[in-house]
Amino acid sequence: MQRSAALTGFGWGRRGNAPLPDDPRGWLRAQLAAPDAAIFSGLGDSADGLVALRRQRRDRMPGDPLVKPLFAAEVAAQLDALLLTEQPFRERLAWFWCNHFTVSMRQGGTRAVAGPYMREAIRPNVTARFSDLLLAVMRHPAMLLYLDNISSIGPNSRAGLRRHRGLNENLARECLELHTVSPLAGYSQADVTSFAAILTGWGVDMKADRPGFVFRPAAHEPGEKTLMGRVFPEGEEGGVQALRFLGTHPATYRHIATRMVGQFVSDTPPPRDVAHVAGVLHDTQGDLGAAAAALVDLPDAGRPGVKFRTPMDFATAAMRALGLGGAPSAPGDPHAPAHILFGGFASLGQPLWTAPLPNGWSDRAADWSAPADLLARADWSYRLAAFAPDADPLDIAHAALGPALRPATIEAIRHAGARRDGLTLLFSSPEFQRR
């Protein structure tokens, strides 16, 4: 594996002239063995966000005046971490799993808890067992709000009989289809309905002093339920058992192995690579750290230029190449590095935590490489170059791309009319579009 490829294929691109790892694979594995080095001081938890949301709704405040500053602080802290991280592989895995378990601000009042969701459910479990990550996600208020499980009531429960309301199958359906076994497992609509019944009562207590997950027995569908041939007891424990079952299912291991290989190796994941990573997951009871380490050793892992950069990849790589960021970004400063990056995501079509559907953002080249997309990247690159008035385009090009830098791009930069034009040509080059 090339030294620079470890930074581009498994991370977010080289930051300025940061040293390249002497042992790329060892460097990547060390990030998995070490604890998460990201520090998020001064941020509240999901309960703080829910308290703010509750007060806004109670007092009918327009414009999110209490949630907005909490969200701005999350953006500043989490995107600063993305720009500055010295654990880029671990950081990429965190955002990969956040996208796999998408929570979008398009619905459900999740703006108040999208940032805490990333910090509380995703980041601590990046190298844990998949079943632990799954349970953390499914119990988090952000997911319960986003996929409407708070409105799911067992038809034969005390609340269901009194209020004549029934199941909401959104969370159960997406968990089966997207998060765990996938349709290849052959589950039926009856399984979706049964799983939704298993998850009744899983909600969010918005009236508590510190709002968060709650199990409501009065809303839970009574009796045993059968899911994919397995019988689960009633009550909260039945849901926990069902998630453990799904989180360790062979079909789940195959599905998430396909997603991981697709993220780090190729848009068309080689079957042998998928089988290898799925085998590691099976042999380790779903150890995501072991699966990530297995990715590093795949024959095609880190081969430069194979994966097309998504807008998030592209904007982050460009800002890291320029060495932007350092002092903490002020939440209210539109010119702070984190907010430049936040605006870049939106300008390029991938606004932060705002995926249009529960399947998250695509990482396939075909979905991001239309002529209009490339033109938008060139326009944004030109605006970005204004924030690096002293940057030398050729120095940046050699540092960021290493052996992948083409002679044609070097010549184009040399003949650019101005420094800003040179940087725009660099970031618009075919090789910078890929990682």
Task: Supply the pTM of this predicted model.
Answer: 0.97
Angstrom distance (rounded) from CA 237 to CA 209: 25
For residue 281, give both structure tokens: 């997951």
pLDDT value at 185 more than 90: yes
Per-domain boundaries in the chain: 311-428
Determine the pLDDT at residue 365.
Answer: 97
Determine the pLDDT at residue 1.
Answer: 74
Average pLDDT of the chain to the nearest whole number: 96
Determine the pLDDT at residue 5.
Answer: 82
Mean pLDDT of 183-200: 98
Determine the pLDDT at residue 303.
Answer: 80
CA distances in angstroms from 5 to 10, 58, 300, 417, listed in the order given:
8, 52, 11, 30
pLDDT for 267-277, tens place per residue? Answer: 999 999 999 99
Mean pLDDT of 301-327: 93
pLDDT for 291-307, tens place per residue? Answer: 999 999 998 887 878 89
* Contact between 348 and 433 (Cβ < 8 Å): no
Determine the pLDDT at residue 37.
Answer: 95
Mean pLDDT of 49-60: 97
Buried b or exposed e, range 305-344, using 16+ CB within 10 angstroms: ebbbbbbbbbbbbbbbbbbbbeeebebeeeebbbbbbbbb
Residue 364: strand, helix, or coil: coil
